[in-house]
Structures are given as C-alpha cells and as structure tokens.
Structure 1
Amino acid sequence: MVAFLLSRLKSFRQIVHQEHNQKEKMLLILIFGAFGIISNYTGIEINNGAIVSQTWQADVDYDAAIANTRIMGVAIGGLLGGPIVGLGVGLIAGLHRLTLGGFTAEACAISTILAGLITGLLGRRFGIIGRNRSPWGAVAVGILMEIIQMGVILLTARPFEAASHLVEVIAIPMITINGLGTLIFIMIIQSILMEEERTRALQTHNALQIAQQTLPFFRQGLNFHSCGEAAKIILQATKADAISITDKKQVLAHAGAASDHHQPGQNMATLLTKKVIENGKILIARSTEEIQCYRENCPLQAAIVVPLQVRDETVGSLKLYFEDAEKLDQVEQELAEGLSKLFSTQLELAEAERQQKLLKDAEVKALQAQVHPHFLFNAINTISSLVRTDAQKARKLLIQLGVFFRSNLQGARHLLIPLEKEIEHVEAYLSLEQARFPGKYEVEFDIEPQLNHVLIPPFTLQPLVENAIRHAFSNRKQGNVKVTAYMNRDKMMLTTEDNGKGIPADLIQSLGKESVRSEEGTGTALWNIRKRIQEIYGMEGSFMIQSEQDSGTKVTMTLPLTQNKWSENDV
C-alpha cells in the first residue's frame, strides 16, 4: 500500500529518476524512516511462540518480541538512496524499535542499522534497483537482511532459549513475507521507471514526427506560408485548441480556436507573447487574465508560449493555446519545449543554408560578372581601328559590346535565363572575336525553336565557346564549333562540339570536377558550370566532357525543361 501511494506522488517519482542531492536524500530518509516506524507500530507481538497482540504496538512486554516489516523499508531505502540514506533510515527505524521494548529490542535495533548501511553500500556498488535490473537482486538482498537479523537475535538476545524459540517461529514467515513485499515494492518502482520511459519515448516520437513534417516549411524561414502550413500540422498532432506562430512583430499563422481575432498579418494580440519575445524564456498562462488578450470574450483559457531562437537570438514564438486549462498538462509543456528546440534548430539550419546559398551565389555572380581583361582591351582596340576605316562596322561592334556587357549583368542578377539570351551572349562575344580574327573559325548554331524560352543557368554556353576558341584552335589555322540544343523526352540536351586538338587524357578525368593546373588554363569555368548545374538541378541535371587527342572535344549538358517566369525589368 505504501509503495503504491508513494508511486503516485510526483516528488517521489522524480526522486526515483534523478541523482540524489542532499535535499532528496533527506526526503528519502524521512519517507523510509516513517515506513520503519509504521512497521514497528503495526507489527505482531509474540510471546513464547504465541500471538499476544495484533493491535497498535506502543509498548512491548519484556518477555515478548515484534514480528514486522521494518527491515523491508530499511533495505529498499538503502538500495534507492545509497549508504547515507540507508544508515539514516536504519537509525530512525532501529532507535524507534529500541524505545518499544522487549527482549529483542537491542538486537533488532543493531540489525536494522546494519541492514541500512549494508544495503546502501550494495545499492551504491552494484546499482541493484534500475529499469533494466531484475527485481530478484533486491529480493535477495531483502532476504539476506532478514537472515542477518535472525542471526543478530540469536547472538545478542537473552535468554538464548527464548531467542532460539522466537527465531524458530518467525524466521520463515518474516523472510518470506519481507521478500515478497520487497519484490512488490521494487516492481512498482520499476514500473514507474518504465512508465516514465514510455512516456518520454512517445513524446520524443511525437515531437520528431511533427519536426519531420514541418521541416520542409521551417527550412523556408519564418513567413506566412511556411508558418501557416506548420501551424496546421502542429494543431493536428497535439491536444492544443489553437496554434500560433509569430516573428518579432506580427502573427504569421494562427490555426484553430479564436481565429476570428488572432489573424495572420496582425500585430501580436497578447502581451504574453511580447514578454517571451523580449525575454527569450518560456511562459505559461493558466487564465485569460494571464494571456492578456485584448478581446474580452476570447475563448482561450490557457497557453504555453515558447521562443524560437536562431543563434541565441529570439526571432519569433510558438504558442499552444487551450480552451480548458486542464489540457495544459506536463506532457504538453514538455512537448512544447521540445518542439521549440527542434524548430529553433530547423530555423538555424535554414539560416545557415540561406547564408551558404548567398555565399555561393556571390561567388558565382562574381565569376559571372568578370570580363577577361585582354578580351575587353582587344575589343576596344579593334573597334578603335575600325572607326576610321569602317565606321558602320565599328558601330555594330559597339552595339555587340553593349549586348555582351548587358548579358554579363543579366547573368550576375539571375539564377536562370532563357536559352535565347545565352545565345545572344555567345553571338555578341563571337562578333567581337571574329572581327579580330576574320575567317579563323566558324560557329554553327542548331537550336530547336521551342527551346528558346527554356531557362538555363547563365554563362554556360559562352565559356564553352570561349574555351574552344582560345584553346582548341591555338595551333590551327581554322576551326569549327557547333552549338546544339534539342529535346530528349523531358530533358534538353545542350552541346558544344569543336574539331580542335582535344584534351590530354591525363586531364580529362579532372576537368569540370576541380581546378587543374595546365599551361593553357585552370579549368575553373568548366568546374563552375558543373557545380551550378549540380546545385540547381541535383540529379536531374548532368555535365559530361568527351574528348580525344587531335579529334576535338564535346561537352554535353542535360537540363530539365523549365520555363518559369523571367523578367528583364530589374536589369
């Protein structure tokens, strides 16, 4: 009965789970010391092998003794709390037994103190009580302590004949009943541990499920759409009557009860939320007055508000509202706290991904915005020389130079551009190069018309054509480059092919995968193109280089067909 009642006490359940500090050890000593005192009072008085009294044992005759469950409480206290608790419980129960009298009073007091100390040492050394421990170890210890008590009675109680006769009568019943009592007590304690473990497992499972379902949305950051979807998921997975998510200034989402006045886009409706944003600490309200909603008839009666943090800075809040304060129990509080940590982690990862993407975009755009200085100087020199001899051609080249720079700007400001814009960039580059080296090479375009508006990463074709012109034909009088775009099922195949000198076999495996050192370049352009295709399209895109010495090089890009909206207004 005592074990069952103790198992219902929240404080005792916490003590069972935690490492014991001085305060908890004192509490255990008081609990099991009281258990020992009650056992003394409720024992059975025995005189000459016969039951004398089964009532409250406040005073025992000198010739009598008490059969009770005192050792059980002392042993369990020692096993739970260690030697300090065991000794403390043993002293309380043993000294109290001494005050009741009887010819075994001294022997029982000594055996009780010894039992407390020994079980405490055994509990500390072997960890006999635990969720993964068999209860029979504790039962064996309890039985051993009773046997020790019988031995102490035989050694110290006098007259010996009376002590021997008493042990003969009470030994087997007391050892059996105390062993059975210890088993029941330990099983109840273990059930507490297992129950709490199952509860935590369910909470963790629930929290992880919610986190998994909301991850795609929180990775987008805190916005109306992502928070709206996340709030719906959380509402379905918890006992809350309403879920609200805010940033620092306004409500981003509200699902459930009180949606008529807790609406997305509005300023925060409760002072409770403002306090959480300011302090970064969890707050709990169990009344409408504590919530402090501006609407008098608001049905929300309780709430737990947890901060959402990114790198220790509060960026928003998650609120679980309840129409009945009784629903806001410990389970919901722990779940809310767990979700707060998980969502904060998700937001941190989203921010890290965003910063990484910005950094990559900055790197890519820096590369895209670069113009080869020799190309620029050569283009200006070519145009200057034509101003007097062929003004019309010089004018056309200036226009093409403008188109080239415009394409650079477009590439620096857009992740994707239409194929036709990339072709314009290539043509502008070619017109300027061909003006310097007339008749040295020919470039042919074979583009299926329906692909002109398909979006591709900028600076994918132009660097490939430039590579062919600068490297493939360096030792040749004339060369050919062919640019092809055609559909293959749901993909676009984009190729550049030249009949140049090809790429050495020792470099072909590294080109496009990393920067390489060679007399003719580093391969950075190819690496940049491959990297962007992987980051933008993932497994749906590919980049392949095929080349043979003295037979030319072919670069093939496989891209999914995308025709998203694109605008030049910001250029």
Structure 2
Amino acid sequence: MLPLMVDMLERVGFLIATAFVFSRSKWMRSYMSYQGDQSNHWRFLVFFSFYSILGTYSGVAVSNFDYKPAPWIGEVSPTAAIANSRTVGVVIAGLLGGVKSGLIVGLVAGIHRYSLGGFVAVACMVAPILQGLLAGLCRNALKKRFRNMSSVKLAFLVGFAAESLQMALILLLARPWEEAISLVSLISVPQVLSNSIGVALFFVLYNTIETEEDRIGNEHANRALHIVDLTLPLWKLEFDKAVHAIAETLLAETKAVGAFFYRNGKEEVREGLKTNYYFDLPIETQNKKQIGQFRLFYERAQDDIPSRRRMLTSLAQLLSQQYAFVEAEKQAQLLADAEIRSLQAQMSPHFLFNVLNTVKSFIRTKPEDARQLVTHLSKWMRNNMNNSSKTLIPIRDELDMVTAYLSLSQARLGERLKVVADIDESVLDRLIPPFTIQPLVENALVHGLKGMGPDRTGTIRVEVQRERSPGGQSRVRITVEDNGIGMETSAHVSRDQDEHAGLALSNIEQRLRYHYGMDKALVIESQPNQGTKISFWVR
C-alpha cells in the first residue's frame, strides 16, 4: 500500500504543477477569485475536463489485486481498474465554478472513464458526476459561511468526502462483489488520501496567489492614492491647464510611456509616446456624463496584469470624483455669484426706487395695476430666495421669475418695451440650472435696449421650444432675443463690452457646460443696431 501511495502522490504532484502553470493566466485567476467571468467559462470547462482526463491517463493500473505503474494508460482490461487522480480536477472545478461547472466536468470525465472499460467502469462513470455536484453544492454553501473558499482544511474535507463517495459507488455498483471489495481494500486509503491532499494543495497554491495579488494590489492602491493626492490641487486650475498638468503627473507616476487627453474624440493634450497598447481613464461628472478621457500608453498590453488594471480603473474613478468635487465647489460658488449679481442688479436701491415710484404713481390712478406690481415684486423675491439654494429647477419656475421681472420693467417703461413669449407648455417640467434665463433677459433689457432712440420700441422675445438634435434626440431650445444695439461676439463670452454682462454670460455658460457636458453652451448671434439672439439647449 505504501508504494501505491507514493506513486499516487507523484501523479498528484504532476497535476498540481500543471495547475500552477495555467493559474498564471488571467481567465484562470478570475475563476480562482470567484469572479465567474462568463466570457471565459468555456475555457474553464475545457481546461478542467482535460485536467480530469489527464488524471485518469496518469493513473496506476490495478489488476489481480496488485498494481502496475505505467506512464500512460490507453485501455483497461475487463478485470482491471485504475487508481487515479481524476477526482482532483472534478472537485476543483466544482469548488471554483459551482454546480454547473462541476456537473459538466464530471460528466466529461465520467464518460471518458467509461470508454476505457473495466469491471468498475459504470461506478467510475457515475462517481465524477456526483463528485462535481457535491463540490458545487459545497462551494455554494461554504461561500455563505466563509469569506472565501481558500481554506486548505475545507478543501481537504471536500476532496476526502468526494473520493470516499467513489469508493462507496464501487462497492455498490461493481461486480463481482469479491473483486470490488479487494480493489477498494487495496486503493481506498492511498487514493482517498492522495487526492484529498491534491485538492488541498491546489488551495495552498490559491492562497499563495491571493497573498501575492493582495500585496501587489496594496502597492497599486498606495500608488493610486499617491497620484490622486498630487492631482487634487491641479483640478482647481482652468480646465485646459488642469488636464495638461494631470497628464504630466500620470506620465511621471505610472509606468506608462505616454499620457494623452481626449475630448469629443479629439486629442487635446499629448505627453510622451503613443503605442498600440493603451488604457483609458474616463473622466465623468456626477451625473455620469463623460467630459473626456486620459489615455495611458504602454510598451505592452496590460491584460496580463489584473492588479494594475484594477488600479487604473480605481484611479479613473478617483479622478472623476475629484473632478466632480472640485466642479461642485465651483458650481456652488457660481450659483452664489449668480444670486448675488442678480440681487445686486435687480434689488439695487435704484431699481427699488423705480419700482416703488411706479407703484406710488399707480396707487391713485391705477390701483389695480399697483396691486399687480406689488404681487409681481413679492413673487420675484420669493422665487429668488427659493431657487438660490437649488442646483436644478423646472423651467416653469425660472419663467415665473422672468415674467415677474418683465412685468415690473414693462410697467415702468410702458409702450417703450414690448415682450413676446413663445412657450411650449409641454416642456416646462424639464430641469435647468437656476438664474439662466433671467440674467439673459436682464442683459437684453439693461444692455441690449440701452441707448435706443425714443422713436424705436424695444422688443424682448423669449422662446422655449422642443426640437430634435442633429443626432435625433429630443431636447429643449431656450432663446432670448432683443432688437437692441447688439454686442461684440467672440469665442469666449467673458470678453465683453460690459463687465456685468460678460460675467453673467460666463457664469451661465460654465454652469450649463457642467450639467450638460457641451463645449459651446451658449450660441450668440448679434449684429450692430439690429439686436442680439442668445440660445442654449437642455435635455
């Protein structure tokens, strides 16, 4: 029995060495980590089916109550059997892949063993199928109780139970009975122990790989955290300068040979070299809109380095979170600035003086109009305070504030101001950033219509309409148009002929760009002495 035990352990060692070689592949390691990558499931099944068949062929021939070591078994005589390591592959397939994988590998191994013949062929065909089922069920049960199935003791026990099941099936199904008893007496202890040890050794290998992965993963995690510590202050720069500085940091701190930045498919930043192997780091806003991506180029593919790929994926998420955090701070400041500018412009003593003077003049001559003006003023003030703390509001609420403002202004200017509204009521529940339409109307009135002659009526037109984008998607177009003196247009709305007007337009454009990810948020059309038309789109 001892010589048979030694031969069985030698064959188990050969199988474990084979498993170690294949465990270095990424698809094998994904299963060893219980990730269940279904795209490579067929490879997993093919490998362990071959692994189990190899365990049969590398077994020890047993005949006439003795065994004859042989390097390869081609067939089994009617009175012979095989002391083999087939169970190792079947049990590992069930423990790693679950019931389905265990059954499929067990079925392939069982049919193959049956084709070789021998008086225990039927028992040895049924055994792998039940062993695969047992291992798969143990995997499902043990995952709920333990963090993972890396325990060597548990693996040994499952292997022991599976091999013991095979011995029981031989006694139950093999005939003649006397030969079955003699066979089990000869091979049971060596085969049960050696195969149980083989399953346990595989999970020793698993633990070693997991420890290595954890060590490398910790190194990569520390590297990612170090990189994001360096990049956080860079996001506070202007966007173009920020991505250029971050690309330089990524090139210096990773093993990449090139770091580029792309926006809308166009290359905007180029640091280092471009190769055929790259990894993308998408940068997204809080609402998952991609604003661009860093692309790191490498000298070779990164697919065979799972921990580095996970590090780069985490780094992309951290960079997106940094961008979203910094942008949220900017948006909060922009919103506060928009509120302050709106309050300063609308609620200045001069504005209040004009509104109150108008109300005073209407009290005696047009008391109903005076009451309406007070209502519009209170409504505007209430909406202004309510909307100032919100990131997005319905178009309806923004238009209420615009209507109140124009009503107050129209009461003061009389026939010198004409207001035209073309509103699609079905889109008024769409959300937009607050203080977007109202500042455009204010600019049109205060700056666009300023300086017009007394013989010319100023007209402000507000449109809110549903339309289709060039890509066929539904969107809402919002337009504010005046027939005033016009303005200077340029690629950057912050270059303005009036400081307040330019700051307001810049503020609106930055907030629209943040929420909707568009490069050119405001479209300005203007001609001297003919007027200005400003449009933007929301989804």
TM, length-normalised to structure 2: 0.54
Partner of 1:177: 194
Whether contact under 8 Å (2:251, 2:258) holds in the other structure is yes
Query: Taking every aligned residue pair, what percent have the same amino acid on both sides?
Result: 32
Partner of 2:96: 80
Whether contact under 8 Å (1:6, 1:12) holds in the other structure is yes
Written as runs of structure 1 = structure 2, the 5 A alignment for 1:453-464 is: none
- Aligned CA distance change for structure 1 residues 375 and 314 (closer, same or farther; 3 Å): closer
Partner of 2:73: 57
Residue type of the partner of 1:308? Answer: I
Whether contact under 8 Å (1:48, 1:165) holds in the other structure is no
One of 157, 161, 165 as aligned partner of 1:148 = 165
- Aligned CA distance change for structure 1 residues 11 and 368 (closer, same or farther; 3 Å): same
One of 67, 75, 82 as aligned partner of 1:66 = 82
Written as runs of structure 1 = structure 2, the 5 A alignment for 1:4-153 is: 4-20=20-36, 24-127=40-143, 131=148, 133-153=150-170
Give the deviation of 1:239 after TM superposition.
1.0
Written as runs of structure 1 = structure 2, the 5 A alignment for 1:274-353 is: 286-287=275-276, 303-304=278-279, 306-310=281-285, 311-322=287-298, 324-325=299-300, 330=305, 334-353=310-329
- Aligned CA distance change for structure 1 residues 328 and 319 (closer, same or farther; 3 Å): farther
2:378 is aligned with 1:362: no
Give the deviation of 1:221 after TM superposition.
4.0
Give the deviation of 1:30 after TM superposition.
2.5
CA RMSD of aligned residues (A): 3.4
- Aligned CA distance change for structure 1 residues 361 and 123 (closer, same or farther; 3 Å): same
TM, length-normalised to structure 1: 0.52
2:236 is aligned with 1:219: yes
2: CA distance, partners of 1:56 / 1:346 = 61
User: SS of the counterpart of 1:8?
Assistant: coil
Give the deviation of 1:182 after TM superposition.
0.6
Q: Deviations over 1:105-145 (max 9, x none)?
A: 22222222221222222222223896464121121010111
Query: How many aligned residue pairs are there?
Result: 335
- Aligned CA distance change for structure 1 residues 349 and 56 (closer, same or farther; 3 Å): same
Whether contact under 8 Å (1:26, 1:85) holds in the other structure is no
Give the deviation of 1:26 after TM superposition.
4.1
Q: Deviations over 1:215-245 (max 9, x none)?
A: 1111334143x44543443233211234344
Partner of 2:532: none
List alignment gaps of at least 5 residues for structure 1. Answer: 259-284, 288-301, 381-571
- Aligned CA distance change for structure 1 residues 133 and 48 (closer, same or farther; 3 Å): same
Give the deviation of 1:250 after TM superposition.
8.9
- Aligned CA distance change for structure 1 residues 237 and 309 (closer, same or farther; 3 Å): same
One of 19, 39, 49 as aligned partner of 1:3 = 19
2: CA distance, partners of 1:133 / 1:95 = 30
2: CA distance, partners of 1:88 / 1:23 = 17
Residue type of the partner of 1:177? Answer: S
User: SS of the counterpart of 1:239?
Assistant: coil
2: CA distance, partners of 1:228 / 1:27 = 43
User: SS of the counterpart of 2:239?
Assistant: coil
One of 216, 222, 225 as aligned partner of 1:205 = 222
Give the deviation of 1:59 after TM superposition.
1.6
Partner of 1:505: none
Q: Deviations over 1:334-383 (max 9, x none)?
A: 54444333323322322222221122123334555644579969xx9xxx
Q: Which of the pair has the greater relative contact order for Cα pairs under 8 Å at 6+ separation?
A: 2
In our comparison, the structure showing a higher alpha carbon Rg is 1
Q: Deviations over 1:65-119 (max 9, x none)?
A: 1101011211111222222222222221122212222222222222222212222
Residue type of the partner of 1:99? Answer: S
Q: Deviations over 1:532-555 (max 9, x none)?
A: xxxxxxxxxxxxxxxxxxxxxxxx
Give the deviation of 1:313 after TM superposition.
4.9
Whether contact under 8 Å (1:131, 1:190) holds in the other structure is no
Residue type of the partner of 1:211? Answer: V
- Aligned CA distance change for structure 1 residues 206 and 155 (closer, same or farther; 3 Å): same
Residue type of the partner of 1:361? Answer: D
List alignment gaps of at least 5 residues for structure 2. Answer: 1-16, 358-539
